[in-house]
């Protein structure tokens, strides 16, 4: 029962820009809780891409950027590359769910 909704897939040609939305509610993103993003290559563990809405850990290219506004957040990938093809998940906290973490439904990025 995910409380964060993402589009199932987005696609783009190499070099293009794609964005992934993450829609929450007034008890999650809208309440001001930080949003984080992970990249998962099939068969591997996820990798932290963005933390606290718009911060990149060291080693993450600046082609990846995050933002948050209202009850939603977004991940943008510019200069799309073939190895960006992966699943992407947003994550935050929802005060109505009685738990610690809530993940998004996940988005498959397809590089055409």
Partner 1 sequence: QVRLVQSGGEVRKVGASVKVSCKASGYTFGHYGITWVRQAPGQGLLWLGWISGHDGHTIYAPWVQDRVTVTTDTSTTTVYMELRSLRSDDTAVYFCARDLMTGSSPFIDHWGQGTLVTVSS
**Tokens 């591997």 appear where?**
44
What lies within 8 Å, CB to CB, of 30 at 6+ separation is 24, 70, 71
How far apart CA 104 and CA 56 sit, in angstroms, is 19
**Tokens 């993940």 appear where?**
103
Strand partners, 11: 110
Q: Which stretch binds partner 1 (CB under 8 A): 10-18, 59-67, 75-83, 92-100?
A: 92-100
**Rounded to the nearest 5°, which phi and psi values hold at 83?**
-80, 5
Sites for partner 1 among residues 25-54 (CB under 8 A) = 32-36, 38, 45-48, 51-53
From the CB of 45, what's the least distance to partner 1, in Å?
4
Closer Cβ to partner 1, 13 or 32, answer by number = 32
The token duo for 72 is: 């939603």
Closer Cβ to partner 1, 84 or 94, answer by number = 94
Interface pick for partner 1 out of 14, 15, 57, 70 (rule CB under 8 A):
57
Total residues interacting with partner 1, rule: CB under 8 A: 30
Report the interface residues with partner 1, using CB under 8 A: 1-2, 32-36, 38, 45-48, 51-53, 57, 89, 91-93, 97-106
């Amino acid at each position: 029962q995910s409380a964060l909704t993402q589009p199932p897939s987005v696609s783009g040609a190499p070099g293009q820009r794609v964005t992934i939305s993450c829609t929450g509610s007034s008890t999650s993103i809208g309440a001001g809780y930080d949003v984080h993003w992970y990249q998962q290559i099939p068969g591997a563990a996820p990798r932290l891409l963005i933390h606290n809405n718009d911060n990149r850990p060291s080693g993450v290219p600046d082609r990846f950027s995050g933002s948050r506004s209202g009850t939603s957040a977004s991940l943008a990938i510019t200069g799309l590359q073939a190895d960006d093809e992966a699943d992407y998940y947003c994550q935050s906290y929802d005060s109505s769910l009685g738990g610690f973490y809530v993940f998004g439904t996940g988005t498959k990025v397809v590089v055409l």
